[in-house]
Amino acid sequence: MKRIGMLTSGGDCQALNAAMRGVVKGLSANVDELEVYGFENGYKGLIYGNYRLLTSADFSGILTRGGTILGSSRQPFKLMRTPDENGLDKVEAMKQTYYKLNLDCLVILGGNGTQKTANLLREEGLNIIHLPKTIDNDIYGTDVTFGFQSAINIATDAIDCIHTTAASHNRVFIVEVMGHKVGWLTLYAGIAGGADIILLPEIPYDINKVVDAIQKRSKAGKGFTILAVAEGAISKEDAALSKKEYKAKVAARKYPSVSYEIADHISGKLGSEVRVAVPGHTQRGGSPCPYDRVLCTRLGAAAAKAIMDEDYGYMIAMVNNKTKKVPLADVAGKLKMVDPNGQMVKEAKRIGISFGD
């Protein structure tokens, strides 16, 4: 008999269900008896004992279904050691729920914050397996996270759709892509969608260089320009501020987001209209793409093997197109950033894409 718990934490994405299915199918095919307890709404379910016993029917037909059948929520890691409003010790509560159900393992699907709490529970003595989920692809220790490729497809489609209207009206268009701290999604979607300018959090931009790139296209007879801008794109001036100063500036910002600020600056310098398109949470939605379905099936199968081998305390990663167990202790709390001097950025610049630097 194997008893495992599963939860999905943080922002949702398209392939969470596919990943859970992969784990359960991998275990069901190889163990005589299996009980799977699903914790509802992420760590909240583990803290407050909100769970249900899942059956094979729960995992049938969910390979192509986006979102998460368990629900999700954000539970900031920095508050995990802080008692809740009723004085409840959240870490102890999670441990008690785990031991009450006599679990052999807890499978946790989530991004960076989720992973830090997963490692905390590992340090507290629980058997943990983590599966790396995020559309941002910013988890250290794995080449790719599930949800990333599906989000690329959606963000790229948004840029593709902007091309026709931008060309028809000879306009400058900004497409704002998700990604507060890292720019992988914007980088991939920007290149795939044929963006002329790509602005990332890792490469602070000079607005004058951005305007120069637009004017260069105009002089070459190209009547429109498309910018792919990450949510967390930052100017060189703002990058020079302290963290406290920058937070204060963002709080006082009159614009809905950085894209609107950039649009205003460009419009002021060029005297022409600039439009902003924000795909927003559509980038998290819909069905997982075929690549993510395959990825999640492989990660799930590898997680099932680790559980059968009673080999815990790992993130199941994809490295050089092979699944790999990576110790949680080695990766928790680390971000995988875009390298401003990396090969992909250099190649993008080589074909004329501007990064505003």
- pLDDT tens digits for range 262-282: 999 999 998 888 999 999 999
The mean of the pLDDT values for the chain is: 95
For 58-73, what is each residue's pLDDT tens digit? 999 999 999 999 999 9
130: pLDDT strictly greater than 90:
yes
For the question of residue 136 being annotated catalytic, the response is yes
Last residue of a domain, one of 266, 284, 302: 284
Catalytic residue among 12, 58, 136, 196: 136
- Smallest CA-to-CA distance from 15 within 130, 151, 188 is with 151
Q: What share of the chain is helix, strand, coil (3-state, %, to 5)?
A: 45, 20, 35
Say whether both 142 and 48 belong to one domain: yes
Say whether both 238 and 106 belong to one domain: no
For 15-55, what is each residue's pLDDT tens digit? 999 999 999 999 999 998 999 999 999 999 999 999 999 99
E strand segments, 58-169: 105-110, 128-132
Query: Looking at the domain assignment, is residue 350 inside a domain?
Result: no
pLDDT interval class at 246 (50, 70, 90): confident
Backbone angles phi, psi at 67, to 5 degrees: 70, -150
Instruction: Identify the pLDDT of residue 182.
Output: 96
Say whether both 102 and 226 belong to one domain: no
Structural domain that includes position 156? 151-284
**Which of 26-30, 47-51, 183-187, 229-233 has the weakest average pLDDT?**
26-30
Instruction: Identify the pLDDT of residue 120.
Output: 97
253: pLDDT strictly greater than 90:
no
Q: Cβ atoms within 10 A of the Cβ of 266, count?
A: 22
170: pLDDT strictly greater than 90:
no
Instruction: Identify the pLDDT of residue 283.
Output: 96
Query: Looking at the domain assignment, is residue 338 inside a domain?
Result: no
254: pLDDT strictly greater than 90:
no
- Tell me, yes or no, if the pTM score tops 0.85: yes
Q: Is the dihedral of CA 227, 231, 236, 238 positive or negative?
A: positive
Query: Looking at the domain assignment, is residue 79 inside a domain?
Result: yes
